[in-house]
Amino acid sequence: MDRRQLLQGSVGVGALLAVPMAEAGAAPVAGAKGEGDGFPMPRPLNGVAPRLPEGDPSRTLLELGWRFHEGDVPTPEPQGHHETYLSVKAGNAVGAAATGYDDSDWREVRLPHDWAAAQPFVETANVSQGYRPRGIGWYRRTLRLDPADKGKTLELHFDGIATNATIWINGSTVAHNWSSYNSVYVDLTPFARFGEETNVIAIRVDADAKEGWWYEGAGLYRHAWLVRRPPVAIVSDGVHCDPRQVDGRWQVPVTVTLANVARDAAAVVVEAVLLDPDGREVARGEVKASVPVLDRAEAVLLLDAGAPRLWFVENPTLYAVRTRVLRDGAAIDERRTAIGFRTIRFDANQGLFVNDKHVKLKGVCLHQDHAGVGVAVPDSLHRWRLERLKDMGCNAIRMSHNAPTAELLDWCDRMGFLVMDENRLFNPAPDYMAQLEWLVRRDRNHPSVILWSVFNEEPMQGTGAGVEMVRRMIAAVKRLDDSRPVTGAMNGSFYNEVSVAGEFDVMGFNYYQADYDKYHKLHPNQPITSSEDTSAYETRGAFASDPAGHVITSYDTEATSWGATHRDTWKNIAERPFVAGGFVWTGFDYHGEPTPYAWPTIASFFGILDLCGFPKTAFDIHRAHWIDDQDVVGIAPHWTWPGREGEAIKVFVSCNAETIALRLNGRELGVQKVDRIMGNEWSVPYAPGRIEAIAMRGGKVVARAVKETAGKAVALRLTPARSLMAGDDEECQAITIDAVDSKGRHVPTANFMTRFTVQGATILGVGNGDPNSHEAEQVLPNSGSRSLFNGLAQILIRAGTGPGKIALRAEAEGFEPASLSIARTDVKPRPQVAVVRQVQDLREWRRSPLLAARPEPSLAPADGDNNSWDFVRSGVPTPAEQPGWRVYRTRFTPWKRVAGEGGTIAFENIGGKAELWVDGKLLATKAGSAPGPLNATLPAGQGARIVALLVEGAANAPSGLLGAVAITPR
């Protein structure tokens, strides 16, 4: 399957690529490929964007109903010995981690959530993090579990939390995490409460902790899940089924890791079925397994796949392994894992081979970051960004410098990208080795992953300690996956007497292109790749540098001292067969690391595309370098230069054909032999009109690019990425705003403020690609503003639910407004865990010994007496025994509204006669012994309140707090 088939949507995942839109007024050449690309964004694709299939049916999204507090919440100092004693016991966290904490005035947010994306730019904030304050934040979520879930394996999965996090469940600390980039799997099972008794999740996130020198965001910025499995089940990341070729036949070794939370050992059968792309069974196997109590076991199978269709970059054919756990003949747990049949081989002299076919790595480095949403990038936006790269001819992604979100790898599998999967922290200590091992376990089934990278640019790479560290990390990778080579992204120390370079299967060069030949000569048997290169600067739409204004020309002439231009870099790689390929720094601009400038610049200049995914000149340069199955041509700059008539303008053309002709207003300006790597240049006296670059093979026109002089901007235009959106309350798409003249031509010099409104969708964020802009990227859900930058701006919207219409309107003072209607189709949303509103629940009580006579309400254990009164929870009956009295006491601080206005204290069910006293005052009585409710009005009042419930229980009848006790506002 070639790029043209992809464009036509001939694969199951739909149309994967974007087609450049011809500039208005440009006449396409009949039958020619790669027609004009004057307007820098693709035509809208037809159809709804595909959604990734769910491989684990036990997971449910847990992304609605979270409450968020920006800033730390001081933990109160315990008062007295008793409070101190309790504060360090399980289930008794204090402050914002406490089960009964009042979060009613916290803001409700939806995950994924990056709170730093809404921050203003502040000059005193960290430059590398993009001048956005990060700080500390808190999240809380109330969760109700069905009683039918009792006895099941229950987990919470947080796919990414930026940065350090502490997690509590029901007042108990359950996890500490030290990285933004690994998932956090929390065993909920021992802490879970069921039925009407809710569960409270509290998370403190310290985003001041830094792992990178780029914008890392803040908060719960990837997906969160509730996982419900049977007592005996496959563990998370517990299926390993990466195919192998043995003696010319393909096999799928399947290893399934099982766990058992039941009270008895379990005998099960593990079944694995290989399914072809059409869902037909190819091979089947099963094996018996015995899983000990509160322990794990492995089941190992081997599936004979025979001669399957192979996974190629051009044709990424995916099979699936369906793994089921059977008990007494019934399936109790299941996973579906996408796999691809492909071999990878790095040759020291000829580079990379995939299925014995030579492939040059035409790659980019990526950070997870986009204008408007920061690091909280929706799944469909990840896919759109990959579409932009695929349209450029890119075939490889380096996940720099950390584990990516899982969905990005899923898209890479389906779209035919090769991935260098990279570990963040260079450290073999237990906490950090666990992060590396998690990365390999999670990602080792992906056919897109061809390299493991254990570090990036580490100062210890040329030391003995560094060698010992990397040896241990490589060994850990190989224990979990022996099918892929291991590398590291090195930036020096290659020739030290002591160096980690010799430990790697593939040598990774960050820059140092002048050393390719020398290193290859010294190490002729070690494969080489560029793991990072280029670091060239461009400001999208600018064609003259202005250092004072922090603007850099897009003619591909400026680069860092350690890098080179896009053209020079690729020339060095393309000319050397022994260099497997390269990864351009970077595919997209990103917030932070504003090299070579600092304040007020807040983003990088490195991207082939800008923060919004609008292409720079480098985009056309790489299309000419990397696309082999289609004739392409691009021309720079735009052709709107009022006041520069007669002045020489450098015209730069990128092309992959044989010859290129340039015309201005129909006049021939000369024909040149195409220089595919370095491009072709003309010096043209500027005259308004139409300039054309015409690509030819054998004298026949095969492609052309056109730029026309635009007149004064008179109106706005809205262009969607797709003509339809799924009404699933998830799909996100990018809407381009640009200005047009009276003839409908794009005006590349327009720089004015636009305002817009949206109905039927929610605005996630806005941007314009300007690395010096301090305009807010987060706006109101249905309206906002953003200035055009060199003619363009972007709105990111998320579709609402169900069928209907999405209506957008954009306007600017003195211009004709633009309207856009997008159909919203009826696509069933993915299930979400139901939102539960938390109430102040009085669960924790002290219960006195049985007393023969009615006690005084003031009766209480002495401070420090943690032994003579029981600790009990509401909803737990006091066992039947002889008649008598008991006192139930608790201390609580009313939530803000109740404290200010008063409320109600409601006992769902009390067994026995009862008197309710609050702060020494009788509020209500219950006369009968039979179980029943008791409610009373609670007066307003600040500070702690003391509740004493005197209960006279009858003989042989449960008494006391038989149900929940709740405080509600009036």
List residues with catalytic annotation.
457, 532
As a whole number of angstroms, the distance between CA 408 and CA 400 comes to 13
As a whole number of angstroms, the distance between CA 439 and CA 118 comes to 30
- Angle formed at CA 796 by CA 613 and CA 768, multiple of 5 degrees: 50
Which residues neighbour 649 within 8 Å (Cβ) at sequence distance 6 or greater?
A: 637, 641, 683, 684, 685, 686
User: DSSP secondary structure string, 701-758?
Assistant: EEEEEEEE------EEEEEESBSEEESBS--EEEEEEEEE-TTS-B-TT---EEEEEE
Which residues neighbour 958 within 8 Å (Cβ) at sequence distance 6 or greater?
A: 877, 878, 879, 880, 911, 931
**Dihedral angle over CA of 292, 298, 299, 304, nearest 10:** 180
SS3 assignment, position 900: helix
Tokens standing for residue 51: 């959604």
Which residues neighbour 339 within 8 Å (Cβ) at sequence distance 6 or greater?
A: 241, 242, 243, 252, 318, 319, 320, 321, 445, 447
| 8 Å CB contact between 583 and 363 | yes
| 8 Å CB contact between 648 and 684 | yes
Amino acid letter, 84: T
User: DSSP secondary structure string, 629-642?
Assistant: SS--EEEES-S--T
| 8 Å CB contact between 788 and 768 | yes
Amino acid letter, 190: P
The number of helices, as runs of H, and strands, as runs of E, in the chain is 10, 60
As a whole number of angstroms, the distance between CA 388 and CA 392 comes to 7
- Angle formed at CA 291 by CA 285 and CA 297, multiple of 5 degrees: 70
As a whole number of angstroms, the distance between CA 799 and CA 760 comes to 7
Other beta carbons within 10 Å of 662: 21
Beta-bridge partners for 797: 733, 763
The shares of helix, strand and coil residues in the chain, as percent rounded to the nearest 5, are 15, 40, 45
Q: Output the CA–CA distances (angstroms, integers) from residue 916 to 127, 913, 933, 936, in the order listed.
A: 59, 10, 12, 8
Nearest C-alpha neighbor of 684 from the set 668, 665, 669: 669
As a whole number of angstroms, the distance between CA 280 and CA 514 comes to 52
Give me the helices (H) in 313-405, please.
Answer: 379-391
As a whole number of angstroms, the distance between CA 143 and CA 161 comes to 19
Nearest C-alpha neighbor of 35 from the set 668, 622, 613, 634: 634
SS3 assignment, position 333: strand
Which residues neighbour 636 within 8 Å (Cβ) at sequence distance 6 or greater?
A: 543, 554, 555, 617, 620, 651, 652, 653, 654
Nearest C-alpha neighbor of 564 from the set 607, 632, 520, 511: 511
As a whole number of angstroms, the distance between CA 229 and CA 224 comes to 16
